[in-house]
Amino acid sequence: MGRRRPCGHTSGPRPTRQVIQTFPDKAEDKCGVVGIHTERDASSYLYASLRILQHRGQNSAGIAVSTEDESIKAVRGMGLAHEVFNSENLSSLSGRSGIGHVRYPTTGDDMLENVQPLVLSSGMGDIALAHNGDIVNSEALRERLENEGWAFFSTTDTELVIRMIVNELKDLADPVKAVRNALKRIEGGYAFTLMIGSRVYGIRDPLGIRPLCLGKVPGGYAVASESVVFDMLGGKLIRDVMPGEMVELTAGDYVSYPSPSGGERANCMFEYVYFARPDSIMDGKSVFDVRIEVGKMLAREHPAEADVVIPVPDSGRTHAIGFCEESGIPLSEGLMKNRFVERTFILPDQDAREASVRMKLNPIRSVVRGKRVVIIDDSIVRGTTMLKIVQMVREAGATEVHVRIGCPRIIAPCYYGIDMKTRNQFIATGRSEEDIAREITADSLGYISVDGLVRAIGSKQSELCLGCVTAEYPTKVPGERMRFQRSLESFQQASAGKRAVSSRIDS
């Protein structure tokens, strides 16, 4: 195969500055996907959906639509959705079916070639793919395919998947079989929106690690990363796409292709703790209600003698409401957020990021002066931001500062689409809560327990992905322990046996 570029029209502003990606101080998922088939113009719905899902990725945005002749036209660019799209390029995206994507890069470089949806040609016409998640075995697959003569124009694992699907479509007229054949070879957490000609599909990984839901919108049907899309488009949530399910959308109906395997789940706990909007429904549970329960559980497990509770905006707000309801300590907005400052993790060095914390948050002195303060947040990754927040609150006159966190200690990487991949950059690595409290200069620190979080979510522990807080993963990850395995060694032996069987099948 020669070196190829995506087919279809691709436009959008290129970056005007270098963005230096660094390890963030908050867990970053992130991507948001949407797919729509409607009797009306799809591009306006897709643009609105990306604005609604903007919290899931602020690096780039893209829309691909099927035109009258079923070719696919795309507009993609770096930046926020409202920076990429305007009335001119949206009017060029005329069609009744399409898919969209907002991206935070967890796999692949920060460049226009990696902006999604990716579009290629196939034996069945143009094909476009948008992806939330990570493919665990992407490097091995990519190396194997490059050795077979494949060439890639991007560094993202999304291109790997779309090329595998295109390759299957050469021999199969049935797109469902082609997709299923391609996905048999990949492992990881993913939610895809896929368009083949004018046909739109939503696909969720076999364990349901990454979220995807199905809804009715005016004039048609849609799939999206979060249910809030349907609410704000004037539609309604039908249900979650089930683990391993593939759903085809039409303007008048949808068709479900259930998972060929079954039963096991591993829903990402971080969606409930932090990623999803509080007004979303995730796997049948209200995210807002779960976060209230997390806050209540946190107050039971780690009570504090204090005068006021203040959330870190916006991520700690709902947890703080639950903490206050359970503890009886008054809640106040003690930190004011500047909503017009750049994200701290895209700045070029650590000093600049830490200085940016002060531009982003400022304590309200009248709230904290002379008070024993409890700061509530969803999680701590590196701890540098929390250190600055604690110091700011002390400088504003707090007599004591206690920190409570609505996620257990992060001790292990995520391999399924969250930008947390290096153990030695987690503040909790090899440290006790007392050690971490000293490092962030807090009088005390309390994390919710794993058991407490599971009870607050209301699922069985066996139905959640807790890899980053337990170091046990729901899929095969080289060098890591798989959940339900008694030891790492037994996992490695089992994996070796499976690889041997796979090799015999491939041959």
Q: Does residue 448 contact residue 456 with C-beta atoms inside 8 Å? A: yes
- The amino acid present at 268, given as its one-letter code, is C
pLDDT at 487 over 80: no
pLDDT at 173 over 90: no
pLDDT at 382 over 50: yes
Which positions are catalytic?
31
284 — alpha (psi -120 to 50), left (phi > 0) or beta?
A: left
pLDDT mean over 53-70: 94
- What does 405-439 look like in DSSP terms, one character per residue? ESSPPP-S---SS-S---GGG-TTTT--HHHHHHH
> In the prediction, which pLDDT does 27 show?
53
Strands 97-103 and 60-66: antiparallel
> In the prediction, which pLDDT does 110 show?
63
pLDDT mean over 171-194: 93
Q: 229-253: per-residue pLDDT in tens?
A: 999 999 999 999 999 999 999 889 9
> In the prediction, which pLDDT does 106 show?
57
Which residues, 6 or more positions from 263, have their beta carbon under 8 angstroms from its beta carbon?
none
pLDDT at 94 over 70: yes
Which residues, 6 or more positions from 93, have their beta carbon under 8 angstroms from its beta carbon?
42, 43, 46, 63, 65, 73, 75
285-456 sits in which CATH class? alpha beta
pLDDT mean over 370-387: 95
For residue 377, report the phi and psi dihedrals to the nearest 5 degrees. Answer: -140, 170
Domain range list for the chain: 31-264, 285-456, 482-507
Domain pair 31-264 / 285-456, same fold:
no
> In the prediction, which pLDDT does 491 show?
37
Q: 283-335: per-residue pLDDT in tens?
A: 999 999 999 999 999 999 999 999 999 999 989 999 999 999 999 999 999 99
> In the prediction, which pLDDT does 342 show?
52
Q: Look at 356 and 31; give whichever has higher pLDDT.
A: 31
In the chain, the percentage of residues whose pLDDT exceeds 90 is 71
pLDDT at 210 over 60: yes
- The amino acid present at 423, given as its one-letter code, is R
Q: 121-169: per-residue pLDDT in tens?
A: 887 889 999 999 999 999 999 999 999 989 888 888 999 999 999 999 9
pLDDT at 15 over 70: no
Residue position matching structure tokens 């991206």: 103
For residue 189, report the phi and psi dihedrals to the nearest 5 degrees. Answer: -115, 130
pLDDT at 495 over 60: no
For the ranges 79-88, 347-356, 416-425, the lowest mean pLDDT is seen at 347-356
Q: Look at 18 and 460; give whichever has higher pLDDT.
A: 460
> In the prediction, which pLDDT does 132 show?
95
pLDDT at 49 over 90: yes
* Strands across the sheet containing 308-311: 308-311, 372-377, 400-405, 444-447
Q: Does domain 31-264 have CATH number 3.40.640.10?
A: no
> In the prediction, which pLDDT does 407 show?
97
Q: Identify the band that residue 112 occupies on the pLDDT scale cut at 50, 70 and 90.
A: confident
> In the prediction, which pLDDT does 262 show?
72
Q: Does residue 241 contact residue 192 with C-beta atoms inside 8 Å? A: no
Q: What is the mean pLDDT of the chain?
A: 86
For the ranges 49-53, 257-261, 306-310, 455-459, the lowest mean pLDDT is seen at 257-261
| Residue 126, SS3 per DSSP | strand
Buried b / exposed e over 193-221, threshold 16 CB at 10 Å, is bbbbbbbbbbbbbbbbbbbbbbbbbebbb
